[in-house]
Structure 1
Amino acid sequence: MGTPGDNFRVVAGRYRLEARLGRGGMGIVWRATDQLLGRQVAVKEIAQDDSLSEEEARRQRDRTLREARAVAQLRHPHIIVVHDVVEQDEQPYIVMELLDGGSLADRISTRGPVDAAEAARIGVALLGALRTAHAAGVLHRDIKPANVLLGTASDEADSERVVLTDFGIAQVVGATTLTESGAFVGSPEYTAPERMSGLGTGPASDLWSLGALLCTILSGESPFRRDSLGGILHAVVFDEIRPPDEARPLLPVVRGLLERDPERRLEAAEAERMLRAFLDTGRTPARASASTSASGRTPKLTSRRTAKPAPGYTPTQRDVPRGQSVPSPSTPVPSPTPAATAEQPPRRSTRGVLVAALLVAAMAGAGVSAAALLLRGDGDGGVAKGASPVSSAPLTSTSAGTSPSPSRTPSATPSATARTPNTPTAPSGYRLAHDPDGFSLAVPEDFVRVPQGERIFYMSPGETFRLGIKMSDPETGGPLAVMKSAAAKGADTNPGYHDGKVTDTTHYGHPAALWEFSWNGFSTAEGPRHTYDMCWEEGGRMYDVWVSAPVGKVREAKEYFDVALDTFARA
């Protein structure tokens, strides 16, 4: 908390800004005094984008004021009270009630996770707030622990009060987004997959965020937390969803809220009924009307894709470890298991990778997308003549000098789905390389083609990432035999080779194998590396695509690998 200075700034001739309470992406929050009514208030000074033209800035101010006034009309005991919306010197300010209790995030940070009963109480309060907002056509779009306040006023009732605040990026249904400037807004760990996938937002998106919040306050960490933005996007849209053990008492609610398909997601009224039942009985009932699959069974929570492939795309087995099969685009992806052998993660469409790339570029302000592919060269990968291939293993979490944890490898389900002709296009941050050797694929814009005999490489500056491609005649035993042979020679071609794994799979119905391993790199300066390699037979030819990268950049590399496989096409 800031310290009041001698010279206070007065806004709109009435609100004296006395101390800065905090700062976020949407602006600065001040402790202030309403000099007209003689009461303490909180004033949010909305941040302005200096890069906007004068006309764009004016439109943004108008949207801010219009939608903030809509939020001010909301009346609910668990929604922050907005007293006033003012403008001074073309700067918008939102005047709100002042609560000194701190946020739910502060509580978790200082006192640890809450128990199931407290989580249920908080959930009921927030569901009531959201139902009121949604009925008024207002979407919050940034539900997270930091935006939930716990009142600590002198009276006992207020000390128990749960308050949803910071509607700073709220959206009025049918209106232009409050913070619309071409950038994504929100907190990735709590953002619904349909928003990540560019499929729009609605009340169900806020309910997904509440599900993630419940997991966080019960365990102390969001189930979608990863060590990079790209990793978070992947976790939200594609990875297995594993609610923490602490969420078990409320699991039917958590699972219902974290349903990837918004049409199947638990509705607010039903979620509130279930949480109230838990508070009354100590047991959470099953949802009254769970959506069911064609088989009549409720689909599993994990790995359901909501984004459809972009026109002209056919998803490929980029995420599938060698030795695993690829689900058809129309078949729900099976739930992952912890096992690391012969398992297949849910495949993503190129549209999904494109969306992740666009989001990262928008959110991080970077010129490259989140998708990054692991490359293999001599010693890095490629099944030809002693080179070790890299598998298209699932996205895994790693730290420097360690191989990815097998616990994140999802399960495989065989599929005979054949690849259909497609006309791939490059995601944001990529270019479609039409290689003179008779194939095409999307590679990052700064990757350079480097032919090496039978292999073609596309390398990043400094060769940090090495993407390799090789085409050859089929060999006896098929891809699995070729990859196993290469793995047996892994120590000869890859210094310090370890944790190698070859799995049998299919690639759109074609025989395939995936090889994943770690090694020490070609020099001390280069350092430990990790490689993914996919080999398959198609149309009387054998294809091999691999990516190699430093172990500390496995997530980025895996995304490069995924995009390469997703867009690979024969000439």
Structure 2
Amino acid sequence: MHNEDGFDRGDGGSGRRPEDRWTGGRTPVPEPGATQEWTEPPSHDGPSVPHAVIEDRYELLEPVGSGGMGEVWKAYDRRLRRFVAVKGLLDRSVTTPDTQKAAVQRARREAEALAKIEHQNVVTVHDQIETADQVWIVMKLLEAPSLADLLSRDRVLGVPRAADIGLQMAHGLRAVHEASVLHRDVKPGNVLVRDGGQVVLVDFGIATFEGADRVTRHGGVIGTPPYLAPELFAPDSPGPTPASDLWALGVTLYEMVEGRLPFGGGEAWEVQANIRQSPEPVLRYAGPLSPVIQGLLVTDPDSRLDAASVEVMLQEVLAEPGAPTPARTATPAHSPTARSTPSAASRPASAASGPAPATPSSEAAPPESPPTASRGGRGRFRGWKAAAAAVVCAALLASGGWLLASQGDSGGGQADAAGERGAAGGDAQKAWEQWRSATKRLTIGAKEDQPGLSFHNKDTDVWSGFDIDIAYALAEKLGYGKDDVDFYAVTTGNRASRLKNGDVDLVVASYSMTTEREKQDDIRFVGPYYKAGSSLLVRKNSARYDLDEAVDVKRNHVEVCTARDSTYADKLKEEGYATGKWQPDSYRECVDRLLDRKSSVYAVASDDVLLAGYAKDDPAHLKLLPSGAGTEPYGVAMRKDDPLLRSKVCAGLREILAGEEWPEMYMKDLAPLTGRKTAPSRPELRPCSG
């Protein structure tokens, strides 16, 4: 393909799905616009080629991946005129002529059992078919992102959302287990999250019956190494059981809230060695989910929580809207050891690495281990429920009680009034002293690639720009020196989740204040501390188009890039601009696409002051178009349930805007970009009680 400038079109930095390290041989999803080359799945002597038809009904269109045992095809049901997923259950690599008959019988029973499961959290099986050498199941074709996709994008999820996803997974597993089927490959990649939040367990390609003979592939236990239960590796192991599926659920819950796997390792033996050496992984952000995760990651399968107990405990978590944040402080999220250092935080963190382990000297003692569980599923829940309550109570006591003030906050002045009063004997100063005592260092989320606004020099580990100066000034008002402040690199796409999950205390990252964002991201703003205009950044010398005004960009229907989840993402479409299907996480990526003449991006949409920084850095190739209508007010974001901090930030920002600090910061950082000789009028701070 060629773009309008006559250059070979590459991916142009197009959004590609991050590689799943544990794909189990699944065919990767091609990038948008790229030629799709599919690896042919293993031969099964049956129809395994495109456009072959099974039973004169299901036309195989294209493979959509191969799981642990068997392959999955997108197919067309000629009779009912619909697209379906067709999966072969037999893996010929693990069968011999002597074992083939038994394998076919086992797969046949498995398919029949799966077809009987009717549950909203389990993929629907429409049909079961046998050909000469294969047993096929025909399933509903679901086109939705997986939980792995969400974690690749956000790295961590908030406790309420993780609890909701975990609850639906438990519902699905319970239905599967009641049908005497075991999944055996529970992991984020096999959990689809549909629009509206419905969770569906998929990929039963290596499922088996409870009590069936263990089948291994290439001499090892089947499954994905980081999610395999330790009992599967015991010499006298009876093989997979419902408890081993629930271990994998525990690993998945941990990964959702902690942003990393509980037990690292590149191979199955390494993972299992880490389980033996450190069977109780540190929980920093799980809060009220801690007892659930701890109960699922018990190495003794007989003492592990069952699906019914998990369901009840997760329902308790979701029924307590005030529980997630207070419980999180039981394992101090504000401790310096629970955060990355500034230099480490500035680098993209892999999901496998996660936060550095806390040192015993600075980590508060974890809550007592839950009571030893009995072997009865429902009976043992009482002990775990008591442990969950203990975690919440301990957290409330540790926080001095003032966090209770956030309960019932509907986004109005009640939160601020409660924060000012405090709940520790009505003494706001005492409550703030307790907050400061628990938060030795202030961690602030900021963007690291916006010259003039916020920029991180990785060579010197120095942060600079207007946002950074605002952040330092606020920290000083809160009683922190520069040496007590850590900056944590965030993007437009992940800053809300970084805030909600305790990675940062505040976000100062050209965050446009809108009521919709407060509701959607479940945060609160203080501000504005700056008002920006909207603009477009274009190539200075285009071989195809002369783009001098916004109308030129719209009239020529050239592709405009903006950061995912920015205020411009929907605005561009509403105003008739052409946008690409995939948007990156940062404006820096958009600019990189713009500068890549192989890409189809001809303009970047964002705030004028932000784009002016890029134009100033590369005046030979980039041009800033005149600002358009409207303004983007920048606010300081924080968690909704932190009214005390919000009241302090509000008072501090009011002082900054009233004094000489603000115009001095503007002239130092932004005047070189805007060309102004004097500072503009200061933005009017919105009431913090509104």
**Structure 2 length-normalised TM:** 0.39
Compare the two structures and name the one with the higher strand fraction: 1
**Structure 1 length-normalised TM:** 0.46
Compare the two structures and name the one with the higher helix fraction: 2
